[in-house]
Amino acid sequence: MRKKVVFTAVFAVLLIVSFNLSAKYRYRLRYLRREAVPVQFIEPENVAETFNSAFSLQESFVNVARMVKPAVVQVTTEKTVTLRYWDPFGNLGDVFRNPFEDFFQPREPKRKEYQQKQKGLGSGFIVDSSGYILTNNHVVKDMDKIMVKLMDEKKELKATVIGTDSKTDLAILKIKGFGKFPTVKLGDSEAIRVGEWAIAIGNPFGLDETVTVGVISAKGRKGFGISQYEDFIQTDASINPGNSGGPLVNLKGEVIGINTFIVAPSISSGIGFAIPINMAKDVFSQLKEKGRVVRGWLGIIIQPLTEELRNSFGLGETEGVLIGDVMKNSPAEKGGLKRGDVIIQFDQRVIKEPDELSHIAANTAPGKTIPVKIIRERKEKTLEIKIEEMPAEESLIAEKEGEEYWRGLNVEAITEDLMKRFNLDTNEGVMVNEVESGSSADEAGIRKGTIIKQINQKRINNLSDYTEAIRGIKKNKDAILLIQEGKYTRFVILKGEEK
């Protein structure tokens, strides 16, 4: 009897568990049936249509590569540089020295130097059948030897620099050969649209005839400090070291840009940027004809009119650019422009951004008188400014002594973008953006990003102060600089030339 009771109890438990599992299974099955999506079969004609579209796009890429590659060249460069170092053993290795010096004189370190060849790599493309090549200025700048190799050609051709333009980072080379060279067709960069296909062709890492594909990601990118006039095309087509100077083309095989640089977390991937071909067309024609680029010049340092500045000046919602400084004897000074003026129109064109004014002024013919509408002390006023030709050394980057930087220093005005990037509290001073290797500035330990606050105890507030200060220093005289690195300042001495 007891066994029967136990058996009945166990059977009841199993029955309950079985019922629960069955209920859960039925519920899960109903849930899955309810969520299930019916399979859609693609009709044969749709498959064919999709395949034809993909095949057509593929053929477009193939045709562009076949059409453009013959005119794309590999640019190799070579430069001899002098490197200096301190020998801690001084004259120990000099067999002709007086042997008693080791006993009676302290051994001091001696500065020695040696020469080394630096090699570079880039790309370019032929735009004229007589052998004219467009590339980047940074690819060929200050190089002793430039060689060019065409597709399917084992022999390299020596290239001559016809002209360079650091303000747009463009350069023209010329090669000679037998017969006519293959060329590319130049397109219209103003007509491109975000989302269109973009094809980059070049020699990344020396891998010639490399073709990569992406899209136009954005237009009008600026503020990188790569060149003075920036209006870059952004693309996700893979661009790597060695691509600089190569073409960015559309599906028609037309060049729409010149691949220039990348912003990358690693050396082999990132976002690529190209100079619009429309900008390059004007530079090319001027460099080819004159060997230089003629630009209009105002002679002012400008900055964005931020909301804080508008409130400080009581300008409300006014749009324009603020004049931070006026250069001496410049067209701006002669025409009556002053520091603190807000330019709202230039030649009857509304001005909203500093880059916009820089481009328009540079493209204005020297000698032309332009109406410039400003706001001064909350009142509108129009001045007539006669544009002059930009001096060879005039730039936001102050240069001196021919093509050499002053004692190896290349500086720029401290803009609002630089203030944000380097977390600066003020824009007083000038910022170093390049230091020549082996120069007195290099030996003094000055690096890119250093801020110059004083020169020979003269306060440096802007580029005008900097230019004025270095102008009065003789080449053979030392200069004392007060520099700021991070939160701290220190004095350094830039040695003058030895007599």
| Residue 347 Rama label (left phi>0; alpha psi -120 to 50; beta) | left
> Which of 357, 389, 421 represents a domain boundary (last residue)?
389
Structural domains counted in the chain? 4
Evaluate whether residue 61 is within a structural domain.
yes
CB atoms within 10 A of CB 175: 21
Evaluate whether residue 409 is within a structural domain.
yes
The angle subtended at Cα 417 by Cα 165 and Cα 397, nearest 5°, is 30
> CB–CB of 171/164 below 8 Å?
yes
Q: 160 with 300, same domain?
A: no
* pLDDT reported for residue 188: 95
CATH code of the domain in which 430 resides = 2.30.42.10
Evaluate whether residue 88 is within a structural domain.
yes
> CB–CB of 135/245 below 8 Å?
yes
The verdict on whether 138 is a catalytic residue reads yes
Evaluate whether residue 366 is within a structural domain.
yes
Q: 336 with 461, same domain?
A: no
Question: How much is the pTM?
Answer: 0.63
* pLDDT reported for residue 117: 85
Evaluate whether residue 499 is within a structural domain.
no
The verdict on whether 268 is a catalytic residue reads no
> CB–CB of 276/256 below 8 Å?
yes
Phi and psi at 193, nearest 5°, equal -125, 145
d(CA 325, CA 337): 10
> Which of 234, 258, 293 represents a domain boundary (last residue)?
293
Q: 19 with 155, same domain?
A: no
d(CA 352, CA 373): 13
Question: Per-residue b/e over 88-105, b at no fewer than 16 CB within 10 Å?
Answer: eebbeeeeeeeeeeeeee
Identify the active-site residue in 123, 138, 238, 440: 138
Q: 363 with 404, same domain?
A: no
Q: 136 with 239, same domain?
A: yes
d(CA 196, CA 260): 19
The verdict on whether 169 is a catalytic residue reads yes
CATH code of the domain in which 171 resides = 2.40.10.120
Q: 29 with 108, same domain?
A: no
Identify the active-site residue in 244, 358, 439, 440: 244
Q: Give me the tens of pLDDT residue by residue for the chain, a chain 499 residues long.
A: 555 554 555 555 555 545 554 554 454 444 444 455 555 555 555 656 666 777 788 888 999 999 999 999 999 999 887 776 666 655 555 555 555 555 555 555 556 677 788 889 999 999 999 999 999 999 998 899 999 999 877 788 999 999 999 889 999 999 998 789 999 999 999 999 999 999 999 998 888 889 999 999 999 888 777 777 888 999 999 888 889 999 999 999 999 999 998 886 555 456 899 999 999 999 999 999 888 889 999 988 888 888 877 887 788 888 899 888 888 889 999 999 998 899 999 999 999 988 889 889 998 999 999 999 999 988 999 999 999 998 865 443 333 333 347 888 989 888 877 887 788 888 889 999 888 888 888 888 898 889 999 998 888 988 888 888 888 788 888 888 888 888 777 878 888 876 5
* Domain residue limits at 451: 397-494
Q: 55 with 155, same domain?
A: yes
Q: 333 with 469, same domain?
A: no
> Which of 349, 372, 389 represents a domain boundary (last residue)?
389
Q: 322 with 451, same domain?
A: no
Evaluate whether residue 476 is within a structural domain.
yes
Q: 75 with 164, same domain?
A: yes
Selection from 280, 325, 4 nearest residue 165 by Cα? 280
Q: 51 with 162, same domain?
A: yes
Type and span of the H or E element at 326: strand 321-326
Identify the active-site residue in 123, 165, 169, 355: 169
Q: 289 with 361, same domain?
A: no
Evaluate whether residue 439 is within a structural domain.
yes
